[in-house]
Chain A
Amino acid sequence: MRVGLVSPYSFDVPGGVQFHIRDLAEQLIDQGHEASVLAPADEGTVLPPYVVSAGRAVPIRYNGSVARLNFGPIAAARVGRWVSDGDFDLLHIHEPVTPSVAVLALWAATSPVVATFHTSNLRSRAMQAAYPLLRPSLEKINGRIAVSEDARRTVTTHLGGDAVVIPNGVRTSYFGAARRRPQWCGAPGRPTIAFLGRIDEPRKGLPVLAEAMPEVLRALPGARLLVVGPGSSEAARSRMPAEVAAATEFLGAVSEEDKAALLASADIYVAPHTGGESFGIVLVEAMAAGAPVLASDLPAFVRVLDGARAGATFRTGQAGDLATQLTGLLHDRERRDELAARGRRRAEVFDWDVVTRQVTAVYETVLDARPRPRGVASLRQGGGSR
């Protein structure tokens, strides 16, 4: 089938939703479907061949962080052209309630529409105010997917009705096959702690981890904190206590390969996020790579960790609790190995093969539900694909 995927967020900057759309498009193409992705992108950005740029995105504060969005009459015209040129069997729009190409594509859609809701963040008043305005457009959606129970709750609260939960996919075999790098592996007395995420984004929790580190360093003076993620390392360093800054290595934004290697090498991965997360894809990546996970007990994280069985948790935002748990785990090799083994098994549920099968089942169901001329001719037509 021909699927048009719409990303509201720019492909210039990495992000969970963008990666999800990229991977899904590649999975669909691998399975012999045709997929085209429409996303905002700056001119000159190198895009994969299946991505069509919806024009330059404007950085704007939205939903508690800076998002690069695309709106206005020119964007609307571009979206309309992509929709009509693409002649898609169906459109799969991600985050349909974003003031960006997602809303524009929904507006322009004439084919069946599948929508995936990623966010569980209710902070945006604008979003709540916009629901009545968008409702007629949202009625074009034939199948709703939520990436997590929390995202599903957002849908139920604001739109009524329900959504099917299909988790984010992770290339578990890719992360599972990652090689360890000696420079990131811990040694006796010198364990390595990995953190991933924008370092200037407090929601990602680096400040909480930095606050917990002095106590960890008192117990384990040789501990090393490896920080991966975009943002100014000088600013982050200056906000840390001196001994923590000395024990921290900022690796900047790294490639997927390096990320996988870091997760495979580190003695523990810490996810100290303070909120706004509806899924926690990094947690799955860490589990797939074999890193024991210690995460804040956000509902979404607890669920990804299979009710905290596949990873350890601490009280969200509580540096003291984090320090205790982290120190305990770093001293307990056996427990870490056990968590890593359970994590690997848990990660299988999120493998892209499994997830893609579920997503294509949604596509087929939605295509089966196309309004058609009266008659039962195609009632039993299998699959619905072309």
Chain B
Amino acid sequence: MSALEWSALVLALVILIAWYLSYSAARLDRLHAKVEGALSALDAALVRRAEASLELANSGALDPASGFLIAGAASQSLERTTERAFESDLLEGQHFAGSEGVESELTEVLLAALPDDVIARTRDDGGLGAAALERVEAAGLRVQLARRFHNDAVKEVQRVRGKRVVQLFRLAGHADLPQTVELDDSFPRARDGS
């Protein structure tokens, strides 16, 4: 092969590699954006769940002790969220900022204060309590969904960032490796698995 052919071949290879790198970087960027969006959806769902729980606690539909328990756990979660709003890396850092404990606690309290018979009774009584309960259940379901979708997105990022090309060429830049959010979100209870 002549020198010209060789250099053409090398050039083609370089272009191919450059394309692949920029493609991989764009793919990774998209995945990071997806994680960010998913985390903010999870955040929003948790805020809604805490707000609805507080509403239920104050609706008078539950006994005062249960209401007190729920109100305590719910306001703890809300405080946490508002505190965090002042943190600069609210959505940038793709961290959950350690709210797992507080949110798991709210779930635990909801599970304890709302066994199936209490749920059935509150629903039958209707009124404010039933409406608030419905909102708590709907928000709880959305927490379950948002957390799963977030964790799926995180796993995709982790898998792509585990690739040698990505590590070698530092395609992820300085972005932290996102982590899955592990917390207890088992309220509302599953309607026996199908």
User: Which residues of the other chain, B, contact A382 by a CB distance below 8 angstroms?
Assistant: 48
Within the complex, the shortest CB–CB distance from A68 to chain B, in Å, comes to 28
Known: A139-B156, A376-B90. A164 touches B144 (CB 8 A): yes
A386 CB-CB contact with B under 8 Å: no
Contact, CB under 8 Å: B193 / A371: no
Interface of B is mostly: helix
Q: Which stretch (A30-38, A50-58, A96-104, A356-364) binds chain B? A: A356-364
Contact with A along B143-163 (1 / 0, CB 8 A): 011101111110110010000
Answer whether residue A61 sits at the interface, using C-beta atoms and an 8 A cutoff. Answer: no
**CB pair A368 B45 closer than 8 Å:** yes
Q: Is B142 an interface residue (CB 8 A)?
A: yes
A219 to B44, CA, bound (A): 63
B27 touches A139 (CB 8 A): yes
Task: Kindly list chain B residues whose C-beta atoms are within 8 Å of the C-beta of A240.
Answer: none
In the assembled complex, B192 has its CB within 8 A of some CB on chain A:
yes
Q: Does A143 contact B (CB under 8 A)?
A: yes
A134 at the interface (CB under 8 A from B): no
CB distance from A350 to the nearest CB of B (A): 7
CA–CA, A310 and B177, complex, Å: 47
Q: Considering only CB atoms and an 8 Å cut-off, how many residues of chain B contact the other chain?
A: 37
Interface residue B114 (Cβ < 8 Å from any Cβ of A): no
**Which B residues are within 8 Å of any A CB, using their own CB?**
27, 30-31, 33-34, 36-38, 40-41, 43-45, 47-48, 85, 90-91, 138, 141-142, 144-146, 148-153, 155-156, 159, 191-194
Q: What are 24 A-to-B residue pairs whose CB atoms are below 8 Å?
A: A136-B27, A139-B156, A142-B37, A142-B38, A142-B149, A144-B149, A160-B155, A161-B151, A161-B152, A162-B152, A163-B148, A167-B194, A304-B194, A354-B191, A361-B141, A362-B145, A368-B146, A369-B38, A369-B150, A376-B85, A376-B90, A379-B40, A379-B43, A381-B44
Cβ-closest 8 pairs across A and B: A369-B41, A161-B152, A368-B41, A369-B37, A371-B33, A167-B194, A365-B145, A371-B37
